[in-house]
Structure 1
Amino acid sequence: MSDLSGQMLEAARANDWDGLCALEHEVASLRDHLVHEDPPALAVALDESTRQRKLALIRKILADDREIRAYAMPWMEDVKHLLSGGARKRAINQAYGMGPR
């Protein structure tokens, strides 16, 4: 998952939103597999070095997620404005009987 989150961050940096979305699906699939298909693996007692490694990976994933959001949020706002502008224009056209344009 950590490797995938790094790839997601690179996709966000490159404005590759389709690639980011595909990687998100891979992460979700992996997560679902771990949770539903292999739950005993989640309950294994870990030695201290393995626990520290796992903690470091989780921290990296969370840091990647924060940075991905920093790239994605402005893009999402732009999309939101584009979509709301189109909806507003359609509503005005309908209100004044102008039909779609």
Structure 2
Amino acid sequence: MMNTLALFESMSTISTTMLEVARANDWDRLAELEREMGQIRNELMRIEPDPRENAKLSRAEQEHKASLIAGMLENDREIRRHVEPWLASTRKLLSGTALERAVRAAYGP
């Protein structure tokens, strides 16, 4: 079983990779990495359900953990900047398809 700091380090590594694939518009790989991140998050919640567990870390470990979290949050912000335009165009495409289906249903092919 990994310790919690190692899990945060794994999450940080995945977060950095997620940013790289978002920049490359590789949405399938991004989804895979999101699943991996979720699995690690679930493991973290299983072994560290109480936030007070952080008190067991040394000061240096707490600072390292905080730095990892800050980096992941920054990566998340940039990932969103890449994903949101893609999501908007996908929504537009899907809504156009739905509208087209509704028109066909109402008026025939």
Taking structure 2 as the reference length, the TM-score comes to 0.83
Distance 1:51 1:90, change over 3 A: same
Residue identity opposite 1:71 in structure 2: H
Task: State the structure with bigger RCO (CA 8 A, min sep 6), 1 or 2.
Answer: 2
Is 1:47 aligned to residue 62 of structure 2? no
Map of 1:77 onto structure 2: 88
| Cα RMSD (Å) | 1.5
- Identical aligned residues as a percent: 43
Matches of residues 1-101 of structure 1 in structure 2 within 5 Å? Answer: 1-36=11-46, 38-39=47-48, 43-44=53-54, 45-98=56-109
Cα separation, 1, equivalents of 2:77 and 2:48: 27
Taking structure 1 as the reference length, the TM-score comes to 0.90
Instruction: Find the residue that maps to 1:89 and give its secondary structure.
Output: helix
Cα separation, 2, equivalents of 1:71 and 1:59: 19
Unaligned runs of 5+ in 2: 1-10
Moved beyond 4 Å, runs of 4+: none
CA radius of gyration, larger in: 1
Residue identity opposite 1:19 in structure 2: R
